[in-house]
């Protein structure tokens, strides 16, 4: 067996566009019926839903507090349309994705009256936002990006979080996801080991773009911090009592 044949598959390994589209289409159809899916992301495996029944299953399986809202799976186009930020901040988001290729999450005020939310159950939007802000995960790999593309196509948002029991650390293989979390899913996809696997169990870094405080210190934090400083002259700040893990 060659080293190439024995190497563990990674979430970054190319998948034919037709297969990727078909997989995400199947997932979206399940979510539209109130289902739950386990999805492969470069930052960690995620668990997602779009209807109230699915969101409730996720919170129960993860033993997650409703004080911690779900995030929306998105891209720069969705962030620009929905997040209420100065144009310069939207330009920052695009540059970090295109030039730095960093996965990260943006927290900012949002347009709750945007047409994309018309079909969203009130409970889902309430449990996926906090004090007028919404968290959008961006640039988290090929499966994530296809979800965001289909969210725009269908005008139906997808929400979720890391596929793990709350506060126990992210999972980077489908097989490693806790049994109760796996049991909550109606469909799952195994694309191998997440690109940003790490011993600390981190997922995406979350930045509040209102004041550039770090909500959660996650993967690629050092690269993200350096990019903010060198490209924009902005220091993203870790704040005790605000930044998760401090």
In angstroms, rounded to a whole number, what is the distance separating the alpha carbons of residues 243 and 170? 17
In angstroms, rounded to a whole number, what is the distance separating the alpha carbons of residues 191 and 169? 19
Q: Which domains does the chain have, with CATH numbers?
A: 13-238 (3.90.870.10)
For residue 115, which phi and psi values (nearest 5 degrees)? -55, -25
Residue 5 pLDDT greater than 80, yes or no: no
Burial annotation 190-215 (CB, 10 A radius, 16+ → b, else e): ebbbbbbbeeebbbbbbbbbeeebbb
The pLDDT of 81-110, averaged and rounded, is 97
pTM above threshold 0.85: yes
Task: Name the strand (E) or helix (H) holding 47.
Answer: strand 46-49
The pLDDT of 222-232, averaged and rounded, is 98
Higher pLDDT, 6 or 21: 21
In angstroms, rounded to a whole number, what is the distance separating the alpha carbons of residues 107 and 110? 9
Which tokens hold the place of 194?
């997440």
Per-residue pLDDT at 117 = 97
Which tokens hold the place of 59?
């919170």
pLDDT digits (tens, 9 = 90+) for 49-93: 999 999 999 999 999 999 899 999 999 999 999 999 999 999 999
């Amino acid at each position: 067996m060659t080293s190439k044949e024995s190497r563990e598959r990674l979430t970054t390994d190319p998948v034919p566009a037709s297969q990727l589209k078909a997989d995400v289409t199947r997932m979206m159809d399940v979510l539209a019926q109130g289902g739950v899916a386990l999805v492969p992301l470069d930052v960690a495996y995620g668990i997602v839903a779009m209807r109230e029944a699915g969101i409730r299953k996720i919170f129960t399986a993860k033993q997650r507090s409703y004080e911690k809202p779900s995030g929306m799976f998105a891209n720069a186009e969705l962030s620009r349309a929905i997040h209420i930020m100065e144009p310069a901040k939207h330009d920052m988001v695009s540059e970090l994705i295109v030039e730095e290729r960093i996965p990260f999450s943006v927290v900012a005020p949002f347009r709750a009256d945007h047409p994309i939310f018309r079909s969203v159950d009130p409970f889902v939007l309430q449990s996926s936002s906090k004090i007028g802000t919404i968290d959008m995960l961006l640039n988290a790999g090929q499966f994530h990006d296809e979800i965001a593309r289909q969210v725009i196509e269908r005008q139906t948002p997808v929400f979720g979080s890391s596929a793990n029991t709350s506060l126990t650390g992210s999972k980077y293989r489908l097989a490693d996801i806790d049994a109760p979390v796996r049991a909550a899913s109606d469909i799952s996809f195994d694309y191998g080991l997440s690109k940003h696997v790490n011993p600390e169990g981190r997922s995406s870094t979350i930045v509040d773009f209102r004041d550039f405080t770090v909500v959660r210190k996650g993967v690629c934090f050092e690269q993200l911090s350096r990019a903010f400083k060198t490209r924009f002259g902005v220091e993203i700040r870790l704040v005790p009592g605000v930044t998760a893990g401090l």
